[in-house]
Structure 1
Amino acid sequence: MTKLIIFGGTSEGRKLAEFCAERRIPAAVSVATEYGASLLPAGSLLEIHTGPMDLAAMEKWLDAQAPSLVLDATHPYAAQVTENIREACRRKNLPLLRVLRGEAPRAGSLKAEAAGDPAVVTVDTVSQAAEFLKNRPENVLVTTGSKELGAFMALENWKERVFARVLPVSSVLAGCEKMGFPGSHIFALQGPFSAEMNLAMLKMAGAAWLVTKEAGRAGGFEEKLEAARAAGAGVVVVGRPRKEEGISLEEAFERLKKLEDGSGAKEEAVSAPEPVPSRLLVLAGAGMGTVESMTVEAVEALLRCQAVFGAPRMLQAAGEVFARFGGERRPEMLAEYLPGPVFQWLEAHPECGRAAVLFSGDTGFYSGTAGFLREVGKGKNWEIQILPGISSLSRMAAALGKSWEDAAIASRHGRDWDVRGLAEKSRKVFVLTGGDCRAEQICRELSGLPVTVSVGENLGTGRERIVTGTPEELAGEQFASLAVVWIEEDEQ
C-alpha cells in the first residue's frame, strides 16, 4: 500500500505508529517536539517529521509525501492544529480520518452524590479553575500542562500552595523557573500515571485540590479521579473545547488492516468547511506596567478580551485592571509573550475569539510586536490591532524636563552598542539596560567623558528613583536590572 501520514504527539499517534511499524506499513509521522519523536518506534519504513507546522508547511509536506490516507491523532485540545490539517487535506484533495480519544466517564458531582466520591467541579477554562480556587486556601496539584500555569499565579501565596506536574523537558523546566515556581513544587515526569502514582503526588503536595483537563482515558482521567477519591481531594475539571466527529483508535486499526489487504473502501477526500471567522489579537503597550500609565484605549481593549498574555509584571497590571473595572469577569492570564507559545495556546483554544498581548512601554520601541506581525504574515487567521503605550524614553524625558527629538537612542538589553562612542558623537543619548548590562556598568564605560548621567529605575511606580551625577559618581551605585540611562553632554 502507499504511504500513510499520521499527525501525532499523543498516545494514540504513538500506537498508530507502532501498529504501522509492526506490520511494515510505510508511514510518515509528524510530532511537534524532539521528546515526542523519542517515544516513537524505530523502523526503516517509518519516517518521522519533528517540529510544529503551520498550514503552509503542512501543504508542502503533504505534497512531498503524496499519501493515500491522512490520520489526525493530535491532542483533543489542539483545535487549531486539527483545523489546519483538515484545510491542508481539503486543498490537496486527500482523504482524512480524525482519530478521537475515548472519553472517560465523569465521577461524582459538585455535591458528591455517590458516597466517597470527591467533589468534581467542571469549568470551561483554566482561568476559571484558578478563579474557583482563589477562595480556597488549600494546596493545589495542577496537571493541565506548563503553558497555562500562569493562571495560578493569581492565587494568594501561590508559591507555597501550587504544585505542578509537567513534562521532563529542559525548556519546560526553564519556563517554570522563569515564572518563579520553586523546584520543590515541580513534578517533572512523563505519563501515563497510575492511580497510585497520582495519589502519591497528591500526598507529597499535601493537595486538597487536583486540577485536570478532561483528557479522556489515554490522558489518565479516570486514574486521577480514583486518586483524588482516595486522597479525599476535590477535582477541578477543565472541559473539552468542543465535540468532534471521528473514529476511535480501535476503528483506525481496523481501517488500516482493510487498507493493508485491499479489502477496505477508498476514503473520500475532505470537503470544504464553512469559512472560519477571523479572531482579534490586540498588541498593546502597557506603559510602565501600572494601570495609571496605561492608555484608556488599552484598558478598554483588555476588558473585552478572553485571554491576556505577557510577562508576569504585565499580567499583574492586567489583573489590577480587571480587579478595578472588570466586575466578576476574569480572562485567561498566561505568562507568555513570545509568538510561538502564544499562537500555540490560541490554536488549541478556538473558543477564544479575542486576546491581548501586553508589552512594557510602547509597541514600537524595542517591543516584541514585530515578531507577532511576522507570524500573522505566515497565514494565521488573526486580525491585529496595535495600541501604542508610553515608552520609558518618553517617561524619563518628562521626569527630567528634557526634549528627546534630538537624542540618540540605544538598547543594551540583549544587544551590543558602543555607548561611549555614541556619547562622544551625540549631545544627548538614551539607553535601555537589561539582561547582563546594568546601568552602573554603562557609567563605568563613560568614565572620563564630560557628561552628566541620569539613571531611572522603576519608572512610573511608587518605587521610582532617578539619580543624577557624573559617570564616576554613579559607577559605584547599585541600580535595578531594568533601568534607563540619560546621558547629556556638559555645557562648555
Structure 2
Amino acid sequence: MGRRILILGGTSEARELVKGLLDEGLHDVTLSLAGALGDGTKASFRDRLKKTDLSRLYIRIGGFGGPDGLSAYLQAEAIDLLIDATHPYAAQISQNAHQAANRCQIGFVRLERPAWEPLAGKCWIEAKDLNDAATCIPQGARVLLAVGRQSAKPFQARTDCHFLLRSIAPANVVDFGGNFSFCQAMPGKTIEEEIQLLQEKEISCLVTKNSGAKRSYHKIAAAHELGLDVVMIKRPILPDCRIFNNLDTILDWLKG
C-alpha cells in the first residue's frame, strides 16, 4: 500500500530519494524546499528529473512556520511519513520536523550522508561550533572560509586574519570588515581546481563544516595535499530517530 510522504529536501540525497520513490511508483511524494526561491526552483528540479514520471510528485517552496505550522500541514495533507533529508547543519529544521512528527504521531526518519573522517598524519583541528572554530585558526592565517555567508559572523573578531568567504549565495563583504573578501562560487569540481584556488589566494588555513558531500571534499583533499591547517566544525546534535546513510537502505526499508 502506498504512503503519503513528505521529504524535507535541499540536498542531492533528497533529489535521489525523490527519483527512487517515483521510479517505484508506489507512493505520493511531496518535496519541500526551504527558502522562497520561486517557480524557477521547481522548474530546475523537474528538469533534472525529466526522464522520471512526476505525476505523483508535488513540490512546495518555503518554510512551514515552525513546528506548529508543520504539524498543521502534516494533518491537512494526511502525511503518514516525514523524511528529513536536509543539510546536516540545518538543526532547527530537523528539530521542528521531529517535534511535528511526534505531535502528529507519524513516522519520522532521516537520510543523512556520512561525515568525513580525519586522515592519519594530516592536520585536522576539530571545533565544536562556529565560535570555537574562530579561536582555532592560527594567528595571522589566510583563511578559506567555506561555512556559508550566514555562518561567517563569529569570525569577524579575528582581525589578525584575512578571510576569503566562498559561498553559493551572494554576500556583501562590507558587512563583515576590511579583512574579508568574497568569492561567489560552487565548490571546485576537482581537487586540482581547489589546489589552484588555494595557491592563487595564498591560503594557509581552511575552515569548513563536515557536510560529508563528495564534491565538497575536494577542498579538504586539496588542503591536505598542500599541508594546510584544516579546521573542521563538528555536526550539531540532531533529534534521536532512525537514520539511513545511503539511498538503497532507505528504499529497501520503504518496500518492507
Give the TM-score normalised by structure 2: 0.83
Report what 1:136 is aligned to. Answer: 139
Which residue of the partner structure matches residue 46 of structure 2? 41
Deviations 1:300-349 (A, max 9, x none): xxxxxxxxxxxxxxxxxxxxxxxxxxxxxxxxxxxxxxxxxxxxxxxxxx
2:232 to 237, 246, 259: 237
Q: How far apart, CA to CA, are the structure 2 residues paired with 1:229 and 1:196?
A: 12
Instruction: Tell me the equivalent position of 1:151.
Output: 154
1:46 and 1:193 map into 2 onto residues whose CA distance is: 30
The answer to whether the 8 Å contact 2:21/2:251 transfers is: no
Offset of 1:235 from its aligned partner?
0.3
Question: Is structure 2 residue 14 aligned with structure 1 residue 8?
Answer: no
Structure 1 counterpart of 2:253: 255
Query: Structure 1 residue runs of 4+, over 4 Å off?
Result: 35-39, 180-183
| Whole-Å separation in 2 of the counterparts to 1:210 and 1:193 | 17
> Which residue of structure 2 aligns with residue 303 of structure 1?
none
Between the aligned residues of both structures, percent identity stands at 24
How big is the shift at 1:254?
1.7
After superposition, the Cα gap between the structure-2 partners of 1:85 and 1:218, relative to the gap in structure 1 and judged at 3 Å, is farther
Does 1:78 pair with 2:81? no
Q: Which has the larger radius of gyration?
A: 1
Residues 187, 20 of structure 1: CA spacing in aligned structure 2 closer, same or farther, 3 A cutoff?
Answer: farther
Contact preservation (8 Å) 2:204, 2:228: yes
Specify whether residues 130 and 99 from structure 1 end up closer, same or farther in structure 2 by C-alpha distance, changes over 3 A only.
Answer: same
Kindly state the Cα deviation for residue 157 of structure 1 after the two structures are TM-superposed: 5.0
What letter corresponds to residue 228 of structure 2 in structure 1? A
1:98–1:219 Cα change, 3 Å: farther
- Structure 1: which 5+ residue stretches go unaligned? 109-113, 259-263, 265-492
Look up the SS of the partner of 2:152 in the other structure. Answer: helix
- Provide the C-alpha distance between the structure 1 equivalents of 2:29 and 2:251, rounded to a whole number of angstroms: 14
1:142 Cα deviation from its structure 2 partner? 0.6
Aligned to 2:28: 26
Q: What is the count of residue pairs matched by the alignment?
A: 241
- How far residue 139 of structure 1 moved from its aligned partner, in angstroms, is 0.8
User: Once the two structures are superposed, what CA deviation does each residue of 1:252-308 show, in whole Å capped at 9, x if it has no partner?
Assistant: 12223x1xxxxx1xxxxxxxxxxxxxxxxxxxxxxxxxxxxxxxxxxxxxxxxxxxx
CA contact (8 A) 1:9 1:36 kept: no
State how far apart, in whole Å, the 1-side matches of 2:235 and 2:203 are.
24
The alignment partner of 2:69 has SS state of: helix
Counterpart position of 1:65: 77
After superposition, residues 343-492 of structure 1 pair within 5 angstroms as none
Q: In the alignment, which residue of structure 2 is the partner of 1:178?
A: 175
Q: With the length of structure 1 as denominator, give the TM-score of the two structures.
A: 0.45
Aligned counterpart for 1:89 among listed residues 86, 89, 101: 101
Alignment of 1:207-356 (within 5 A): 207-218=203-214, 220-221=216-217, 223-242=218-237, 245=241, 246-250=243-247, 251-256=249-254, 258=255, 264=256
Which residues of structure 2 form unaligned runs of 5+? 48-53
Q: Say what the alpha-carbon RMSD is for the aligned residues.
A: 2.5
Relative contact order (alpha carbons < 8 A, sep ≥ 6): 1 or 2 greater? 2
1:36 Cα deviation from its structure 2 partner? 6.3
Change beyond 3 A, Cα 1:48–1:189: same
